[in-house]
A = this chain, B = another copy of it.
Amino acid sequence: MSHVLVLAGGAVMMGLAACAAEVRPDPLASVRTPAPVVTEIGSGVWCVRFGAPEKFTPDTMREAPPRLDDLRRLPESGALPFALDQIRCRLTTSGCTVYVPCDEPESEIYGFGLDPTAYRQKGLRKYLTVCAGVIGRTGASHGPVPFYVSTRGYGVYVDTARVPWVHVARLTAKDAVSADRGAGTLKTSEKELYAARPAAGKGEVIFDLPGNPSGVDVFVFGGPGMKGAVQRYNLFAGGGAVPPLWGLGLKYRMHAEANRDRVLEVAKALRSNAIPCDVLGLEPGWQTHAYSCSLKWSDERFPRHREMTDELRELGFRINLWEHAYIHPTSPLFEPLKLRSGDFLVWGGLVVDFADPVAFKIYGDYHGRELIDCGIDGFKADECDNQPLDDGTPFNYPYFTAFPSGIAGEQMTQLYGTLQQRSLLAQFKTRNRRTWGDARATSALASPLPFNLYSDAYGFGEYLRQTVNASFAGLLWSPEVRDARSFDELMNRIALASFAPQMCFNLWYLPHPLWEQFDREKNKAGQLLPPPERERAAARIRAAVGRRYELLPYLYAAFHRYRNEGVPPVRALVLDFPDDPAVRGIDTAFMFGDALLVAPFLDGERARRVYLPKGTDWFDFERGRRYAGGSTVEFSGEAGVAPLFVRNNALVPVATPVPFVGRDTAFDIAVRVFGDRPAPFVLVEDDGETDDYTRGALNRVTLRWSAAEGGRVERAGGFKVERYRINCWEPVAAK
């Protein structure tokens, strides 16, 4: 027992030599800088490999193979602004750091997933943890994705299921020491001091992956432009998800305590009020036990549940069941999964080892047999996220959780939502059925997953920003309507939801229908609106939902483009208008399909300014007024009717709303014609609910219009039914 110096120059170092079990390792001895190994793995997609990548990553756990043929069909990607072997990597005893050149004074960088708070990412430090809460502008979110795109026309994805720290052109390397060797001025205010940032555009984008000391794949995506890079990323991921047609309709989530009778009552009220709706969501109470989950129907609250689901189906409703993948001891899944789960419980339930193929299948098969085969069409995968810095939430297993498969708890936390989705999706695929679900966490390469993210963040601005940010990262976003401080705000939230990949009212807190009383406390207390007011509320909601249903065929076509070309159906303006610098900062408007620009009223407002990008003229969709690109419009109107613009020379098919989308539902369509020489528009016609479209049972219905000849419809493909009836063409006379 003695206390000795362990280093020469020991003015700094001492140490206890008490128990010399093993020699302290020299950290410098383990530093490696492996050479990049570059491979073009698809057209305009390169893999830059350093060392030996980890076993569990979004790529190794991916849903679908890259769509190599579709990648080849994209336009040429153009030159990258750096050579691929300029990307560097440094490996230490416990981590790995990737340095990507970013010497681009004029560029902007976007991406990193469902970030609720930051849009332009340069200068920021990201902490890409799956997270239920907002942590500054770090990008911690329900869908953090280590992928970014640059306005210089490329994208970079670092394939990791670790929690990366990313420094986005933020740090100043020592060799960039400033030439300013003069005395300088004394800065004394915090503002002055903290303004001293690295020169804009200098530096690198640096990914730090503590926890991964072995190696990593970096994927680089060419353009053209950011849109091209996003397309390549989505096609590399396997192509965008195609929803069932009913999935694009309204999803109405029931009160948490609703029982069988209440569910049927609300379902019928939706129909009797003529509010279109396709999906009813049941909250945790459908089960005998939650939280954690038994995943067994409660006979107490839902006696004869099969009868109920049949009855709802007759009314045209699909059922979506809430769940989380923490398995309660009373669940039939508990024993089979007990040894195939993590070594900590969450809410007293097992954490499923989805990285074990057997556990993955046990979980899925149970759902298939007990639920999907018994009338269930979708699931809401809740609580698959994390709150790394909050002690108040017990739905965390720690990063060091051990799983039998060998996946690290950290990796599982990042991938849990994705793997749960995949386990469920596999069951639908086996049955040749589509699904459209909800998930509170997703990771990279998620484009093919038909699950919509929702969020604990709820600011209107956050919701809008998530709408645009999702489009850079292969994510679907459901800005669910959950609460509002005023009826106008409610209507604006509904309007935003009506232009999202999924339109959802999450009314778990309202015992009575939304239109009878939107105020949470009053609804709970049974203080409902008088009948005339209810009817007025129902009418406004009906109209806003109706707008969604009018555009179902239009949106469905956009989703098929998402699958085959990787173009997100809802996306940031900057993707479509790369040559207009004025759109670079706009995160409050977005493209909906190819022709429409949506600029929702914020919060409870009824007016706003809308910038219309350069490169085309624009029409006000409702009023027909024409504007020059590059102009800013002062727009006012009714809350719940989002300002909607259409680019010149576009055709927009508008359907008569249906109460719900059945397998045989046909759509009556009027085609609105904007401009003199509209581009053709291609509708996609299929059964809308199986995967037969992937095997040829799909028509492309091309709409063409010219002033001389009027409208023309060309139908081509192997689907035998005409679901789209093009009834009329409506040229919009510019005002």
Contact = CB atoms under 8 A, between A and B. Distances in A.
B389 A344 contact: no
A165 B399 contact: yes
Interface in A354-376: 354-358, 360-361
Contacts of A24: 52-55, 60, 214
A581 B310 CA distance: 60
A59 interface: yes
Interface stretch (A11-19, A586-594, A659-667): A11-19
A212 B360 contact: no
Nearest to A185: B289
A291 to B, nearest CB: 6
B206 A398 contact: yes
Interface stretch (A1-9, A245-253, A725-733): A1-9
A160 to B, nearest CB: 12
Interface stretch (A35-43, A598-606, A675-683): A35-43
Given A11-B357, A41-B18, A357-B7, A214 B55 contact: no
B410 A210 contact: yes
B94 A212 contact: yes
Interface in A324-343: 328-330, 338, 341-343
Contacts of A183: 288-289, 330
Given A11-B357, A21-B37, A25-B52, A95 B16 contact: no
A6 B217 CA distance: 16
A303 B701 CA distance: 84
A213 B93 contact: yes
A406 B90 CA distance: 13
A305 interface: no
23 contacts: A3-B65, A7-B357, A13-B355, A13-B357, A18-B41, A18-B49, A21-B52, A22-B215, A25-B52, A94-B213, A123-B391, A138-B391, A165-B400, A174-B341, A174-B342, A177-B345, A186-B287, A187-B290, A187-B291, A188-B283, A196-B347, A196-B394, A210-B400
**Which 4 residue pairs of A and B lie closest in terms of their CB atoms, listed nearest first?**
A9-B357, A22-B52, A28-B406, A15-B60
A211 B93 CA distance: 8
Contacts of A59: 14-16
A506 to B, nearest CB: 14
A52 B39 contact: no
Contacts of A136: 389-391
Nearest to A62: B14
A529 interface: no
A345 B93 contact: no
A518 B23 CA distance: 57
A531 interface: no
A283 to B, nearest CB: 8
Interface string A464-504: 00000000000000000000000000000000000000000
A640 interface: no
Nearest to A348: B178
A127 interface: yes
Nearest to A98: B400
Query: How many chain copies does the complex carry?
Result: 2
A268 to B, nearest CB: 23
A309 interface: no
A406 B348 contact: no
Contact of A330 (B14, B181, B356): B181
Contact of A40 (B1, B6, B138): B1
Contacts of A53: 24
A404 to B, nearest CB: 9
Nearest to A405: B28
Contacts of A393: 194
A284 interface: yes
A83 interface: no
Nearest to A256: B188
Contacts of A289: 183-184, 186
A180 B329 contact: yes
A699 interface: no
Nearest to A127: B389
A97 interface: yes
Interface in A367-421: 388-394, 396-400, 402, 406-408, 410, 419
A350 interface: yes
Given A13-B61, A186-B298, A197-B394, 17 more contacts: A3-B66, A11-B361, A11-B426, A12-B354, A12-B357, A16-B59, A22-B214, A31-B402, A31-B406, A93-B214, A136-B391, A165-B399, A174-B341, A177-B329, A177-B345, A183-B330, A184-B330
B65 A406 contact: no
A483 B212 CA distance: 45
Contacts of A348: 172, 177-178, 180, 196
Interface in A271-297: 283-285, 287-291
A400 B96 CA distance: 8
A664 to B, nearest CB: 34
A9 to B, nearest CB: 3
A23 to B, nearest CB: 6
B181 A329 contact: yes
